[in-house]
A and B are shown apart, each in its own frame.
Chain A
């Protein structure tokens, strides 16, 4: 069975500081991994995804994530936080690249301090 853990339910960073949101997964098959962002009372927006190929994935809004199979991790980073980055972030895993159900982690709430 697939599962996702996200270390830290809440992360606070200063504006301009590095953002690091941690994600570890468990999967019996090669995983497809996703990061989503959710703003209050809204649906989810895809930030980036890893399917195959290059392990460093670049997404929207300056975010990137690196797939590390040996560590079963897919941490999300951004070099410089912006106030607009404050939101809820979800890491997710799927068995397939598309058309399959996605299992979400518990989420990390990111606060950006001016």
Chain B
């Protein structure tokens, strides 16, 4: 099946700094990708829909100035957590559809100290 990768798999950053997470579709093109956030032992919360060549669509309650999404190509979307704070620590997962199925990346564990 298709593969979605994420980089890095885990990252630790200091409070106030920014961190970028990459999501790539390795063997298919994805005009749309999705970013989810998952708290420990909780479900996935959809943060935003990333659209290639246009602005992302954010879900209600998600700060678009804090979680910057860029979908610069058909195989790459990036999520930048700006001015990170400890409450931003979480597991971030991206996904993309090929023609049949939605594939999820392995996730990125962000810890803000």
A interface residues (Cβ-Cβ under 8 A, vs B)? 34, 36, 41-46, 49, 90, 98-99, 101-107, 109
B residues less than 8 Å from A107 (CB atoms): 42-43
Question: A41 and B101: CB pair below 8 A?
Answer: no
The secondary structure that dominates the B interface is strand
Q: B interface, how many residues as a size bin? A: 20 to 34
Count how many pairs of residues, one from A and one from B, have CB atoms less than 8 Å apart in the complex.
49
Question: A102 and B43: CB pair below 8 A?
Answer: no
B interface residues (Cβ-Cβ under 8 A, vs A)? 4, 32, 34, 36, 41-46, 49, 91, 93, 95, 97, 99-102, 104-107, 109
B residues less than 8 Å from A42 (CB atoms): 106-107
Partner of A99, one of B4, B97, B105: B97
Q: Assuming A44-B93, A44-B104, A99-B32, is B44 touching A104 (CB within 8 A)?
A: yes
